[in-house]
Amino acid sequence: MSDHHAVDVAVVGAGPAGLSAAVHAAESGARVTVIDQTWHAGGQIWRHRDRAELPDEARALMARFEASGAQHLAGTSLFDARPGHLSVLGPNGSLELIAGAVVLATGARERFLPFPGWTLPNVFGVGGLQALVKAGLEVNGKRIVLSGSGPLLFPVAATLAQHGAQLAAVCEQAPRGRVTRFAASLWREPGKLAQAARYRSTFRHVPFRMGTWIERAEGEGRVQRAILTDGTRRWSVDCDMVGAACGLIPSVEVGMAMGCDIVNGVVAVDARQQTSVAGVYAAGECTGVAGEDAAIVEGAIAGLSAAGRPAEALYARRDRGRAFAARLETAFSPRPELRDRADATTIVCRCEDVRLDELRAEWGARQGKLASRAGMGACQGRVCGAALAHLFGWEAPRVRPPLVPVPVSALRPAEPLRD
């Protein structure tokens, strides 16, 4: 790579979408650099796992990535971005990456909606708990309540069961009717149906309760019980840990920083996966939550398009993924009752310890931030932003650099990336 304009295609995110984009761009002859803030390629779904455990398609994609000649900057965070210019901070300091085209593949994160007790020790996110278990957290013999939404519940419950946890309850907040209609539509995706059945078999002795959610978590010093409800009844379940979230939301901050249109909470893209900004493409869950297969095919289209190659042959497969995403959204959107759980003293912004009674619904995100500091902490609204949107309908405020916490020294005039 030379000193100036060194990269043809920069990819942000080394999950399934980013790896697929990098492979397709690099195999088309482009010089490609992939950055990811984590140390291992593979994104949320693959990075914790031994290569031997991965499904064939994942193993093949990882092998192609390693052979593709694409450069992988691991442990490197993007903290500022405009089209063609990426400011990143890695183990060796900050760099300015100048790219002919950019592919955003920044994935999704969990939607946390506050309820009394959600800040108690041993209350985690649903996917967050799975990530900790994969990283070595001991759950053998622990009684765990899972309260979440969407297909992520099944692999998480399976992981916990396989690690010896005693699942005390697995709760899906969406009403039975919505879940049943979604399940019936899965005949179009027999692979997903079979996968769901495999996961379910690992925790088959545990009831899967639809239309049920956690109302509060209680305990002295750590969570000891979860109060569950189905809207008419409420009951208490003793437990050592809780995994609670409400599905996933796309991570769109990098797209916002680049000036891309965000529509209905996702980075909007055209048929070629190009955003509203020329030369900036997006793929995977930042364009809508649809699972790993959709992320891979979208990444392929984005990578080919960024490298100036045609990708029409992949459109039909991608469109099936998009249709699946729309069905997921309809089935698993948060029910309104989840809004009523937080009481006056519930912490809403965990970074700044802002309680619900310190906020006024009429404020809007910007005034709320200025008046209470909600959204001003280390997560920069990534956690409380979704909660405030759900509780008050506040729009996410505009993002400002730095997108992730960085030392002041990283903000000095940056140097071009060298070989």
Ligand X SMILES: Cc1cc2nc3c(=O)[nH]c(=O)nc-3n(C[C@H](O)[C@H](O)[C@H](O)COP(=O)(O)OP(=O)(O)OC[C@H]3O[C@@H](n4cnc5c(N)ncnc54)[C@H](O)[C@@H]3O)c2cc1C
Residue 322 parent element (H or E): helix 315-332
For the bound state, the minimum distance from the C-beta of residue 219 to ligand X, rounded and expressed in Å, comes to 24
**Residues β-bridged to residue 235:** 228
Residue whose CB is less far from ligand X, 127 or 219: 127
For the bound state, the minimum distance from the C-beta of residue 109 to ligand X, rounded and expressed in Å, comes to 5
Residue whose CB is less far from ligand X, 158 or 354: 158
Residue whose CB is less far from ligand X, 208 or 392: 208
Backbone angles phi, psi at 144, to 5 degrees: -125, 135
For the bound state, the minimum distance from the C-beta of residue 33 to ligand X, rounded and expressed in Å, comes to 12
CB 416 within 8 A of CB 402: no
CA-nearest of 24, 8, 7 to 283 is: 24
What's the token pair of residue 248?
A: 């996933």
Residue whose CB is less far from ligand X, 359 or 386: 386
**Residues β-bridged to residue 132:** none
Residue whose CB is less far from ligand X, 225 or 382: 382
For the bound state, the minimum distance from the C-beta of residue 175 to ligand X, rounded and expressed in Å, comes to 23
Residue whose CB is less far from ligand X, 219 or 291: 291
CB 363 within 8 A of CB 373: no
| Site for ligand X, rule CB under 6 A | 12-18, 35-38, 43-45, 77-78, 105-110, 127-128, 130-131, 152, 155, 248, 251, 254, 284-285, 291-292, 295, 403-404
For the bound state, the minimum distance from the C-beta of residue 89 to ligand X, rounded and expressed in Å, comes to 9
Residue with tokens 């965070």: 77
Cα–Cα dist 22/10, whole Å? 8
For the bound state, the minimum distance from the C-beta of residue 286 to ligand X, rounded and expressed in Å, comes to 6
Residue whose CB is less far from ligand X, 44 or 122: 44
For the bound state, the minimum distance from the C-beta of residue 355 to ligand X, rounded and expressed in Å, comes to 26
CB 232 within 8 A of CB 134: no
Count of beta carbons in the 10 Å neighbourhood of residue 310: 10
Residue with tokens 């990444």: 299
Beta carbons within 8 Å of 160's beta carbon, 6+ residues apart: 129, 130, 133, 139, 144, 146, 167, 203, 243
